[in-house]
Amino acid sequence: MSKKPDPPKESEAILSGSRRDFLKTSSLLSAMALTPAAVIEAAEHQWDEKFADAAEKIPVTLQVNGVSYSVKVEPRMTLLDLLREQLNLTGSKKGCDRGQCGACTVHVNGVRINSCLSLAVCNEGKKVTTIEGLATGDRLHPMQEAFIKHDGFQCGYCTSGQIMSAVALVKEGRTQSREQISEFMSGNICRCGAYSNIVKAIQEVKNNQA
Amino acid sequence: MDKPSFTFDRRKFLKVAGGGLIVAFVSKDFLSFARKSSPQGSPSVPISEVGAWLHIGDDGLVTVYTGKVEVGQNIRTSLSQIVAEELKLPVSSITMIMGDTDLVPYDAGTFGSRTTPQMGTQLRRAAATAREALLEMAAKQWDAPITGVNAENGMIVNSATGQKIGYGALTKGQQILRTISDDVPVIAAKDWKVAGKTVPKVDGRLFISGKHVYTSDMVVPGMLYGKVLRAPSYNAKLIAADISKAKAVPGITVVRDGDFIGVVAPDVLAAGKALQLIDAQWQEESGQPSAANIFDYLVKNASGEDGERGSASTKGNVETGLKESDFQLSQTYHINYIAHVPLEPRAALAEWADGKLTVWTGTQRPFGVQEDLAGVFKLTKEKVRVIVPDTGSGYGGKHSGEAAVEAARLAKVVKKPVKIVWTREEEFTWAYFRPGAVIDVAAGVKNDGTITSWKMVNYNSGTAGLDTQYKTANRQITHLPSKTPLKQGSYRALAATGNVFARESHMTDLARLIKMDPLDFRLKNLDDDRFKTVLQAAAKAFGWNGPKAPGHGYGIAGGFEKGGHIATCAEVLVNEDKEIKVLRVTQAFECGAIVNPHQLENQVTGAIVQGLGGALFEKIDFAAGKILNSSLSAYRVPRFSDTPHIEVVLINRKDLPSAGAGEAGIIGIAPAIRNAILDATGIGLTTMPMIPNGTLTT
């Protein structure tokens, strides 16, 4: 008889990084500057269940798709949840909430990240671009056009993340070969298996830029 | 053309259709029955007999109503093409209303590769009937012969006078109902202009701009967020729960009903926190089997009789056949349980209003979920509406409506709309799996390549793809159901994923015994020309007889399933560390007349990629009623870097009816890779997945 579901196995926790561990370690460091002392103390004492209740919501100002937002968020809220639940930008998807599928990929200051692994409070003053901000008015981004042309999707659930990753990939210059594209796109799962067409779309955009 | 009077719910029908021309598909059997039983010769058609309908409004817009749902297989586009073809309209003129139980006729569900052959055929006839009706109406209006009027780009044209009238103008102000008979003339595939062509996904722009609203994205006014307390293991019983702490949190509602405990909160974070405040004690069930002993368990618990009626296939005498053979080979194949892993986990939004329940959810069986909900809440089906927004995939894994029932339970208590989105861990643990199996094959072969005996027994997973597709004078084929410790259900191509693996592995092993080329051996034992054609096409494109470098191996496999004929060739490289890399795959596919070539290729390629997972590394690990790898870091699905170079060879048989293409494409990849590994190393693997750790271990 046990009282609660077992905690994740150690290996699992390391690989996936539960939110709790995550908060306690790396991200907390970068969040410290704008986190009330009480929260840091709570985290240090591993009072994570309690501290979130006690914690004040934290004000964050950030730019999303060129629009400035000043919001108040719980310290444990992820950037993905901020986008989806508070800013109503649901184009970024939650496929795993652990940084393992890539469906939530967005750009922060021009760099692609898994928004489910970034705490909202860590994005103070940053510029976030989501799939909703990729087109210019009615004019689609070339990567969006290429995804349509090459059928780079089926159910579409991973597509926002694929496109955001692909746009960044071209910028990173990691499009020298099919193998390189595959390696550096491997954080983005397409369960429908449209990988070959996505590679074609990326190659076309890259070639048109060259 | 039959013109029965419709007695089905006219209110529902006219609510959705208004004026204009309505064409409903009614089965021929029913019409002939109704005609006989109706003295006036005007049969009535109950709504249960209507499979699909389409409507041309007096504005000229065409709306098609079908119970099929879009889960990425691209039927919203392909069905539009079929209708547009018959109505001589561009695809953009067609609107598809799908999977909304209030608006569309009953449909059993989107599975079994049935959409194209069944719904496609119904809609083709419905559209052709509409076209013929419009032609008749115009001819009458102009007092012209029916042969003197033609349909062109949304207009009926009088070829003698050049007069033109739009579809909408023809039907304006009228309510015209037609049903379809089988003899309505449809356009032959060889004359297709809209169907048969590559058309991009009709609403693709919504998906590439993040604007498509999946169930999990939905928000309605006043909506709250639900979460459900899960048991620590399968079959655990709740013996005590302290919900007071969670209940004390402002804004939180806790719902307890027997073993079911759910929370409702104003936002998703609060719902998660509330759940953690519940102190529950569970009585867990001991002695549950684990992945380590599952295969013994399936065999021990098999029922002694053939499971599904008609699954046993017997011919001649397998014992006699074995005596006639020069070589005999018996092998046992093991197929592990795997998960579908749809990237959008189960989600539902439920709303109660005036005693009626509306649920948006991603399911492949909207009417099945409607029935489930009606049963749970003791409502008539008319009081339950299920709407399926285009969904983040299914692969046979979303036949059920768990999240729909959960959301509805919570929404009923809080009297507000409630949304539930399962976590990835919940999706891995509380959905259902492709069944595991033990498959015994015993066969005998003569030196000249004649298969004299074929005996095959499937424990647990099912009959799909079980019967042999090769000639043999003596065969005995059986499926024995077993007890399953994990919830199991439908999957892309069902049990064929395992059965074809076993059969095609065995075929290549038999060929090696008699030192015959595996392709020649298959061709020698085939009568089916379509299967032969894809085998030859795949081998040719692949370069089957070409040279290969040391460490490289070639494998071939194939079969036919649900109207789709496939053959797959694979090349693998096994290096000195026994690491295996699938370098390239060539797959030939034939499913009759092709409706949309590029989308078909996309579907077939996707099936290969998905099949790679089950072939190489996907496996549900479990013990003591717990899933041990319920995350995407622990359960490996194919990624970009796992994808070989894939070549798809499509064979377009315009002389044959179009069959579905979602499933058959998955069955060849595992045995093709297995046979390639055998070719490279001499090692014949018999377990799926074959290399869960990436290297060959024997």
B287: pLDDT strictly greater than 90 = yes
B32: pLDDT strictly greater than 50 = no
Q: What angle do CA B593, B599, B604 make, to 5 degrees?
A: 85
Question: Mind telling me how many Å the CA of A171 is from chain B's nearest CA?
Answer: 19
Residue of B nearest to A146 (CA): B208
Question: Mind telling me how many Å the CA of B630 is from chain A's nearest CA?
Answer: 10
User: For the purposes of burial, counting CB atoms within 10 Å of the CB of B297, is it exposed (0-12), middle (13-18) or buried (19 or more)?
Assistant: buried
Q: For residue B473, give the amino acid letter.
A: A
Predicted TM-score (pTM) of the model is 0.91
Q: What pLDDT is recorded for position B173?
A: 75
- Angle between helices B496-513 and B669-681 in degrees, nearest 10: 30
Q: What pLDDT is recorded for position B28?
A: 53
Residue of B nearest to A106 (CA): B210
Residue A140 forms contact with B (CB below 8 Å) = yes
Contact yes or no for A85 and B207 at CB 8 A? no
Question: Two tokens at B132?
Answer: 């013929």
Q: Which residue has the tokens 């009759």?
A: B592
Contacts of A6 in chain B (CB under 8 A): 232, 626
Residue of A nearest to B345 (CA): A95
pLDDT band at B313 (very low <50, low <70, confident <90, very high): confident
Cβ(B413)–Cβ(B253) under 8 Å? yes
User: In terms of DSSP bridges, do strands B384-387 and B356-361 run parallel, antiparallel, or are they unpaired?
Assistant: parallel
Q: For residue B245, give the amino acid letter.
A: K
Question: Mind telling me how many Å the CA of B624 is from chain A's nearest CA?
Answer: 12
Strand-pair partners of B238: B282
Contacts of A198 in chain B (CB under 8 A): 640
Chain A 19-48, CB below 8 Å of chain B: which residues? Answer: none
| pLDDT tens, position by position, A61-83 | 999 999 999 999 999 999 999 99
B601: pLDDT strictly greater than 90 = yes
Cβ(B552)–Cβ(B571) under 8 Å? yes
pLDDT band at B175 (very low <50, low <70, confident <90, very high): confident
Contact yes or no for B72 and A77 at CB 8 A? no
Question: Two tokens at A132?
Answer: 């909703």
Cβ(B333)–Cβ(B441) under 8 Å? yes
Contact yes or no for A191 and B343 at CB 8 A? yes
Residue A203 forms contact with B (CB below 8 Å) = no
Q: In this complex, how many residue pairs, one in chain A and one in chain B, have their CB atoms less than 8 Å apart?
A: 198
Q: Who among A89, A101, A132 is closest to B632 (CB)?
A: A101
Average pLDDT over residues A134-156: 96
| Residue of A2, A151, A175 to mutate, interface with B, max B Cβ within 10 Å | A151
Q: What pLDDT is recorded for position B57?
A: 86
Q: What pLDDT is recorded for position A38?
A: 44
The ipTM value here is 0.94
Contacts of A55 in chain B (CB under 8 A): none
pLDDT band at B400 (very low <50, low <70, confident <90, very high): very high
A48: pLDDT strictly greater than 60 = no
Contact yes or no for A144 and B631 at CB 8 A? no
Average pLDDT over residues B476-487: 95
CA atoms of B405 and B348, how far apart (whole Å): 8
Q: How many helices (H) and strands (E) does chain A have?
A: 10, 5
Cβ(B206)–Cβ(B212) under 8 Å? yes
| Residue of B75, B110, B208 to mutate, interface with A, max A Cβ within 10 Å | B208
| pLDDT tens, position by position, B223-247 | 999 999 999 999 999 999 999 999 9
Q: What pLDDT is recorded for position B59?
A: 84
Q: What pLDDT is recorded for position A35?
A: 43
Average pLDDT over residues B91-115: 93
Residue B282 forms contact with A (CB below 8 Å) = yes
